[in-house]
Structure 1
Amino acid sequence: MKKVMSLALVGTLLAGVAAGCGGKTTENQAAGNASGSDSKEINLRMTVLPDDLETTKLAYEEFKKDNPNINVQFETIPQAQYYEKLRLQLSGAEKIDLFGGNMDVFLDTGILEPLDDYIKKDNVDVSGFGPLLDGMKVNDKIYGLPYRKSNYMLYYNKTLFDQMNVPYPKADMTWDEFRDLAKKMTKGEGANKVYGAYLQQWAQTWYMQAVQTGASIIDKDLTPFKKALQFRKDLEQDGSIMPWSEQVTTSAHYNSAFQKGNVAMNIIGDWHVAQLRQAEADKKISFDWDVVPIPHPAGVAPNTSLATPVSIMINKESKNKEAAFKLLQYLTGAKGAKIFASKGFLTGFTNDDIRKAYVGDGSMKPKNIHYFVEQKEYPEYPLLPGVKNIVVGNIYVQEGELALSGGQTVDQAIQKIGERVQKEWADKYAKDYKAGKQ
């Protein structure tokens, strides 16, 4: 009997202690909720591009210092299969909370969570994205925020300019001035020929000057694109760039062509900086080099470029959207951008601190790297379903190549581009999707 009574007493005491602890826990939770913090463990799953994985993890570790309850399982997919496999995973209802990539690839899946309400609720500062963000809106909604981007720049061989006693390219140079300079820097013939410039055989390298004016590749009036394509052909006729047909037959590439040392100017993206730095480290090049902004059309501000934004998006089926947005906001905002910039990424969001982080201490080439973080940019193409694959990858490439190879005139190419955009893209998508203002 004494044993039973003792056990009963112990049980009563334990119940009281438990009740007391329970009361304190409830009070603490209420206080925590009232202050906007939550100690509940939240587990997120995030898929990112392979080249961005390590820096994303690094930024997350900083984020976690203020958000210890948000755990993230990071995953990646090989670049070649990234978008196809991720689309399959999302359509198959895999529990992926947020993911990175080109936003337009996912718009037609219906899987993207609109971010406008989250941005408004948290009073998120989006000013650092500049005009890039407006160009990313679809049907007046924001479905992703850019954590990085790729912009174009003009790289030049300082040694060649010095040898020919020609002034370096200017930061404020029109396309006509660029053409004149390319002529001036062209000399010789055959294997020893020095080309004034190199334009990779991508459609972007001829239509960029139309996009710089704010024109869109799906516009009904394609006059700026007609001028741009004709300009590319004029450069070939001048002999100052390698003809498109020769580029194709010799499998020419902007990186190897510029590193060879017989190209004075090379217009290509920001990623070329890392390629040239590596070439110097490997002692593959010995000439001096630098960058200036790409040429601009008359009437367009200097250092206006086209950009390809890479965004972070939230799965609308996520059970933890608030936590997912908190991470998204950090990675794409000022704090996350500073970390990405310090690792050599051009970021969607920028401010003075981020610019300094990207530029570094000035000990590495290019000397004028600051131009990258001072650009005004338009999205390379409207971020709508099918535009990249159908309009850019098929229509502009195919019709542009026919014109550059002599298979049709520039007028015929632009007319066919307009007709095909309407038939192959607009008839399928335009009624459902409207791009943001450029």
Structure 2
Amino acid sequence: MKKIWTAGMAIILTMGLLAGCSGDNGNSQGTTGGSQGKTSSEGGGEGGAEQVTLKMPVLPDDLEAFKAAYTEFQKENPNIAIEFETYPQKQYYEKLRLQLSGGADYDLFAGNLDVMLDTGILEPLDGYLKDNNTDMSGYGVLLDSMKINGHTYGLPYRKSNWMLYYNKTLFDQYNVPYPSDDMTWEEFRELAKAMTHGSGADKVYGAYMQQWPQTWYMQAVQKGSTIIDKDLSEFKNALQLRMDMEQEGSIMSWSEQKSTGAHYNAAFQKGNVAMNLIGDWHVAQLRQAEDEGKIDFDWDVVPIPHPDGVSANTSLALPVTLMMNKNSKHKEEAFKAVAFMTGAQGAEVFASRGYLTGFTNDEIKKAYIGEGSRKPANLHYFLEQREYPEYPMLPGVKNIIVGQIYTQEGELALAGEQTAEQAIKRIEERIQAEWANKYGEDFQTK
């Protein structure tokens, strides 16, 4: 009997060891949980805390940064594992919305707040912020602009701000002073004309403005207008300036951009564009090009031009947020992840990887600047900007108003089929007919 009892205990112990070794709950879509990825029923966290696994889709460009932030997060929250998933950039929101509508058990997810508002699946964060006494000081004015009907539905982990990039080698070649860090749009226009030389394939353009409507409507937004205002008169002069610069030949025309498939990144890297008006993400693109030996000219940044009467270094900013699923079974743990990833600790990880973060403080700014060995020399301008939201965080604004109405009517003007005044009038009419009647009464900011 003694031998039988001993053999039985050995079998039980062996089975227990095997069960412990098979506890890896990772998946094939970017999970970083590894052997920590236990479900809530497994228990046994630090101090007896329940083990929980959160599922979290993120944009593909942000996946590696999230994994790095998660490594720091688990040091403080060993009982919370996170399985990351992602989809191709162009299909991200379509697939995310489809999965959520089908009941996917995502606990939280990343992306643009306005694209997800109409799903009805977002968990308001107000109670969590209050109960956890969350530090909100570092989010700045962007957070207030993201409140919908008085509620907070997401916290920004990064943002996209605009800057003016310039080819120092070209300016030196033509003996023209570099762009000023306090330049009006009219001064920018004159500088672009001064830097335009030649013709045909050898032409040097004074500036490049991507086909996007943001590159012209930003002038009105800098003055405090929004793209859903009933009176859009401020936008007429903004569109007219781009049309004038095209006629002067100082920027590539919209029609040529469309017919040749021109793109701001390739155009600037070619070396025949003096100034490039684009967002903060272009820094990483140019650094990569330098690492790959694709460019050999010197470059730097200054703030985008501003209207008369508006402070220098006033930029558009578009927040990218973390949101919680109201159907999550682990809301408290999900909020811990949201607060960490978007707060001071997570932001420092993102900033060290070159992201402009939603939350900022002195340590985060140091992490963003780094050791200062890479271009641009004036990277600090990104951290000193006065920001206006690129557009209100309301459902349909990005897809309907920006993607359709402003794009289509602006392109008709740039193609010479209507005046700037006619285009803005049509935009006003279409916003009321195609957007406001659907969303305007149900959603209000702040």
Question: What TM-score does the superposition give when structure 1 sets the normalisation length?
Answer: 0.89
- Give CA-to-partner distance per residue, 1:23-52, whole Å, 9 cap, x none: xxxxxxxxxxxxxx8712122111111111
Is 1:109 equivalent to 2:131 in the alignment?
A: no
What residue in structure 2 maps to residue 7 of structure 1? none
- Give CA-to-partner distance per residue, 1:97-127, whole Å, 9 cap, x none: 0010111111111100011111112221222
Shift of 1:278: 1.6
Is 1:208 equivalent to 2:228 in the alignment?
A: no
- Give CA-to-partner distance per residue, 1:179-210, whole Å, 9 cap, x none: 11111111222222211111011111111111
What residue in structure 2 maps to residue 358 of structure 1? 368
What residue in structure 2 maps to residue 324 of structure 1? 334
Q: Describe how 1:237-248 pairs up with structure 2 within 5 A.
A: 237-248=247-258
Structure 2, unpaired ranges of 5+: 1-46
Is 1:265 equivalent to 2:272 in the alignment?
A: no
What residue in structure 2 maps to residue 372 of structure 1? 382
Shift of 1:297: 1.1
What residue in structure 2 maps to residue 47 of structure 1? 57
Is 1:232 equivalent to 2:226 in the alignment?
A: no
Q: Which moved more, 1:370-379 or 1:200-209?
A: 370-379
Distance in 2 of aligned mates of 1:103 and 1:144 = 7
Distance in 2 of aligned mates of 1:249 and 1:220 = 34
What residue in structure 2 maps to residue 181 of structure 1? 191
Question: What TM-score does the superposition give when structure 2 sets the normalisation length?
Answer: 0.88
Alignment-mate amino acid for residue 165 of structure 2: Y
Cα separation, partners in 2 of 1:38 and 1:338, compared to 1, 3 Å: farther
Distance in 1 of aligned mates of 2:108 and 2:147 = 19
Is 1:164 equivalent to 2:174 in the alignment?
A: yes
Distance in 2 of aligned mates of 1:433 and 1:242 = 39
Q: Is the partner of 1:294 in helix, strand or coil? A: coil
Is 1:388 equivalent to 2:429 in the alignment?
A: no
Say which one has the larger Rg: 1
What residue in structure 2 maps to residue 69 of structure 1? 79
Distance in 1 of aligned mates of 2:436 and 2:129 = 31
**Residue of structure 2 aligned with 1:420, choices 430, 433, 438:** 430
Alignment-mate amino acid for residue 390 of structure 1: I
Q: Describe how 1:119-134 pairs up with structure 2 within 5 A.
A: 119-134=129-144
Shift of 1:313: 0.3
Alignment-mate amino acid for residue 350 of structure 1: T
Q: Is the partner of 1:94 in helix, strand or coil? A: coil
Alignment-mate amino acid for residue 90 of structure 2: A
Distance in 2 of aligned mates of 1:214 and 1:312 = 26
Structure 1, unpaired ranges of 5+: 1-36
What residue in structure 2 maps to residue 19 of structure 1? none
Alignment-mate amino acid for residue 263 of structure 2: H
Q: Is the partner of 2:351 in helix, strand or coil? A: helix
Is 1:410 equivalent to 2:430 in the alignment?
A: no
Distance in 1 of aligned mates of 2:83 and 2:309 = 49
What residue in structure 2 maps to residue 13 of structure 1? none
Aligned residues: 402
Distance in 2 of aligned mates of 1:152 and 1:358 = 16
Q: Percent identity?
A: 70
- Give CA-to-partner distance per residue, 1:192-250, whole Å, 9 cap, x none: 22111110111111111111122111001101111110111111122211111111112
Q: Which moved more, 1:128-137 or 1:387-396?
A: 128-137
Q: Is the partner of 2:138 in helix, strand or coil? A: helix
What residue in structure 1 maps to residue 100 of structure 2? 90
- Give CA-to-partner distance per residue, 1:62-96, whole Å, 9 cap, x none: 11111111121221122222111111111222211
Is 1:137 equivalent to 2:147 in the alignment?
A: yes
Distance in 1 of aligned mates of 2:63 and 2:256 = 38
Q: Is the partner of 2:336 in helix, strand or coil? A: helix
- Give CA-to-partner distance per residue, 1:356-396, whole Å, 9 cap, x none: 11111110011111111221222211111111111001000
- Give CA-to-partner distance per residue, 1:241-264, whole Å, 9 cap, x none: 111111111211111111111111
